[in-house]
Amino acid sequence: MRNIIFILFIYLLIGCNGQKNKSNSESSSKWTYPLTRIVDSSNTYWGVTYKDPYRWLENFKDSSVVKWFKKQAILTDSVMNRITGRNELRAEWKKLDNLQPPVYTFPDKEKNRYFYQKRAPGEKVSKVYFREGMNGEEILLFDPLNYIKGKTLSVQQIIGSYDGKKLIISYSEGGAEVSTIKVMDVDTKSFLPDSIYPAAGANGWTFDDKAFMYIWLKTADNKDPSARLNTKTKLHKIGSDTKNDLDFFSNASYPDLKIDPSVYPSAFLSRDSRDYIFAVEGSVQNELKIYYAPISQFSSGKIAWKSLCTPADKLVRGIIPVGDKVFAITYNGAKNYKLLMSDMKKPDWKDAKTISSEKSTTLESIINSKDFIFMTYSDGINQLLFKYDMNKGTTSEVKLPFNGIANINCLDTKTNNCLVGITSWTKPYTEFFYDATTDEFSPSPFNKPPVYPDEYKNLLVEEVTVRGNDSVMIPLTIIYKSGLKKEGNNVCFMDGYGAYGISNLPYFSVMHNSLAVRGVVIAIAHVRGGSEKGETWYRAGFKTTKPNTWKDFISCAEYLIANKYTSPDRLSGSGTSAGGILISRAVTERPDLFAAAICNVGCANAMRLEFSSNGPVNIPEFGTIKDSVECKALYEMDGMQHVVKGTKYPAVICVGGWNDPRVVAWQPGKYAAALQNASSSGKPVFMKVNYDNGHFTEDRDVTYANFADQFAFVLWQCGHPDFHLKN
């Protein structure tokens, strides 16, 4: 947090106050870590007692906890500043960024005005612009770097009113993902008096452009465990006092719906189905739970919500209402998913019409233009694009300009004009303008082709399958520089995720590929818990089956070693966010396989996840200690609980964002504390704290500094010649 009061270094070195507790031993390591109290804390669930000696680190209102994290940050930064090659990495990323054309995101057309965000080469964050017509003059509306002196803001959302005259701009600071919502008069380029804070984003305008809906938060404090409980969708009328905003959809306004306190009750309107109001209970559960009602009830004060779908209908990945029809993806009877259509007047998903049957490839997403529903299918390496003609009832394949992963964005739903971007592991994102009526592709009016040095064009990709511990075949992507020899002495960086059914699809990663051109083998493990192989692949790494996620990662590590891509003293592993479960358990289960690991804003203390502000909403994915079976599963996922004193652990860097609303910093912090106290290898364990970051941030300077530290750490520990510690 940029406005946090900086505590003097000497003050931070004062030992923690409190009861007389044991502290970690420093004699077994050359790294002098901050003293970490070990307390007698535990919980007994279902007859089993689980010790939690670092529970005190969860209390961010305790000054000793704040001091502990600050001292960890100072130690980590002092070492990172001495690693050679780190600054060169950051400089290369900045150089490559300066080579690129401007990056346009979230283009949206209202009337004949195009609103979008654009980040010019070298800029830290994107600015907000608009054009009159697709090729009109570009006009700057909002610069987040100059709006509040001394602060770096990031634009999270822009939503134009239907008449194109007003624009919702939602921004946050320091990666906190807590929105300030303002409304701009586009013609005058000035903000109206309306200002809302704190919020979790806006849901869109009413059709008369006089009001909008947004998700209300009771507090901006992401460290408050109750901060994201009992949220509401409120309705704000332009020019009115926010104190009078209507509680439009929540458990408080509709107690008969029994909305769980952990979910995000969200209400919205659809431009393509204007006869209805919609509401959804938003959580990480993939199965959709949506209500709807006639638009005539919008101003009634009390809406008679009806069910559009329930989790039992098994609708996932996308739902699109168009007039009185509604299209949705389901896995019911289709492990690779299929597309259904039902009638809004009487939705019946058991007897819904199948628009696109299950294929050998997985149905990833749907989106609509004026006349078409577009469907993207993936085989894990390339995507196919199909379109369903809503007027003719026919489906045809769209022939893409080249193979890769395709992303389609329809600029509006009054035309069939779209943007299609294609990328792969080694081909940068390339965008085209696509006229779906004629099936013609042409250069994009927004993003232009990227530019990279020749060395980035000489990378090879192998797609292999690895036999897992239970004989299931796991996809593994391996990227390396042309001419690399497989003699077992290459530094290797392997990444994995495996949660929420999110497929780890190919994309051009500047950061990963910058390591590959330095001779590092990059490996992407497509572990269970994702959905590279459909719904069954996801369910095979879910709650009680979650161990498959890290066991698949371990199997991929063994394959890389056995086939001489690398060796245990040259291999590093990484997991981010929910991938923290993967990496923390891979390290605790097979510490001998890795030289180094990164737990980046990672869930490393799964048994305590539901006690953080964003934890309850994640219960559908990971489980709860209130269920006897799920409690045992959470214990298995918990990296901190499996740290054993006297074990030779690899070098580990844990990373926390001080403003993180998704994974609170004590999750990786407690794991770091446990490893520092337990490891007998003498290898470093550091806790990096980003005070100017959350779960992530758009700010390029902060992002480059963050990942340069992470990569430099593991490359140093894996013996890369360009990375070592200066005296």
**Is there a single domain that holds both residue 473 and residue 537?**
yes
Question: Residue 15 has what pLDDT?
Answer: 34
Rounded mean pLDDT of the chain?
94
Check if the beta carbon of residue 551 is closer than 8 Å to that of residue 593: no
**Is there a single domain that holds both residue 420 and residue 538?**
no
**Is there a single domain that holds both residue 662 and residue 700?**
yes
**3-state class (DSSP) for residue 672:** helix
**Structure confidence at residue 29 as a pLDDT band (50, 70, 90):** low
Phi, psi of 109 (to 5 degrees): -105, 125
The answer, yes or no, to whether residue 26 has pLDDT greater than 80, is no
697 within domain boundaries: yes
260 within domain boundaries: no
**Is there a single domain that holds both residue 383 and residue 479?**
no
Closest CA to 477 of 451, 497, 449, 455: 497
Percentage of the chain exceeding pLDDT 70:
96
CA distance 581 to 247: 37
Instruction: Report the chain's C-alpha Rg in angstroms.
Output: 26
Residue 103 burial (CB count, 10 A)? 18
Last residue of a domain, one of 415, 450, 485: 450
- E strand residue ranges, 46-126: 48-51, 103-110, 113-119
556 within domain boundaries: yes
**Is there a single domain that holds both residue 395 and residue 490?**
no
**What's the token pair of residue 595?**
């030289």
The answer, yes or no, to whether residue 19 has pLDDT greater than 90, is no
Tell me whether residue 243 is exposed, middle or buried, using C-beta atoms within 10 angstroms of its C-beta: 0 to 12, 13 to 18, 19 or more: exposed
The answer, yes or no, to whether residue 28 has pLDDT greater than 50, is no
**Is there a single domain that holds both residue 626 and residue 685?**
yes
The answer, yes or no, to whether residue 295 has pLDDT greater than 90, is yes
**Is there a single domain that holds both residue 442 and residue 460?**
no
**Is there a single domain that holds both residue 628 and residue 687?**
yes
**What's the token pair of residue 408?**
């389609």
**Structure confidence at residue 13 as a pLDDT band (50, 70, 90):** very low
pLDDT, tens digit, for every residue of 212-261?
A: 999 999 999 999 999 999 999 999 999 999 999 999 999 999 999 999 99
31 within domain boundaries: yes
Q: Where are the alpha helices (DSSP H) in 598-699?
A: 619-622, 628-637, 666-678
Phi, psi of 677 (to 5 degrees): -80, -25
Percentage of the chain exceeding pLDDT 90:
95
CA distance 77 to 710: 11
Count structural domains, the chain: 2
For residue 594, how far is the Cα from the chain centroid? Answer: 25
Q: What is the mean pLDDT of residues 477-503?
A: 97
**Is there a single domain that holds both residue 427 and residue 561?**
no
Closest CA to 275 of 236, 326, 204: 326
CA distance 146 to 149: 6
Phi, psi of 191 (to 5 degrees): -80, 140
List the 290-294 sheet strands across, edge first. Answer: 264-269, 276-282, 290-294, 306-309
Tell me the CATH number at 472.
3.40.50.1820
The answer, yes or no, to whether residue 69 has pLDDT greater than 50, is yes
CA distance 720 to 717: 8
Supply the DSSP symbol for 255.
Answer: G
CA distance 638 to 585: 7
**What's the token pair of residue 457?**
């064009």
Say if residue 616 is preceded by a cis peptide, omega within 30 of 0. no
- 193-205 burial, b if ≥16 CB within 10 A, otherwise e? ebebebbbbbbbb
- pTM for this entry: 0.94
Question: Residue 301 has what pLDDT?
Answer: 83
The answer, yes or no, to whether residue 206 has pLDDT greater than 50, is yes
107 within domain boundaries: no
Give me the DSSP letters along 239-263. TS-GGG-EEEESTTT-GGG---TTS
The answer, yes or no, to whether residue 647 has pLDDT greater than 80, is yes
CA distance 330 to 41: 45
**Is there a single domain that holds both residue 415 and residue 493?**
no
Q: What is the mean pLDDT of residues 335-358?
A: 97
Residue 212 burial (CB count, 10 A)? 25
CA distance 313 to 292: 16
Question: Residue 586 has what pLDDT?
Answer: 98
**Is there a single domain that holds both residue 538 and residue 626?**
yes
Check if the beta carbon of residue 50 is closer than 8 Å to that of residue 635: yes
288 within domain boundaries: no
Residue 647 domain boundaries: 21-94+453-717
Supply the DSSP symbol for 483.
Answer: T
**Structure confidence at residue 727 as a pLDDT band (50, 70, 90):** confident
**Is there a single domain that holds both residue 379 and residue 518?**
no
Last residue of a domain, one of 450, 485, 520: 450
Give me the DSSP letters along 512-528. HHHHHTTTPEEEEE--B
394 within domain boundaries: yes
Residue 20 burial (CB count, 10 A)? 5
Last residue of a domain, one of 450, 465, 480: 450
**What's the token pair of residue 712?**
């430099």
pLDDT, tens digit, for every residue of 390-447?
A: 999 999 999 999 999 999 999 999 999 999 999 999 999 999 999 999 999 999 999 9
Give me the DSSP letters along 132-197. ESTTS-EEEEE-TTTSSTT--EEEEEEEE-TTSSEEEEEEEETT---EEEEEEETTTTEEEEEEEE
344 within domain boundaries: no
CA distance 617 to 272: 30
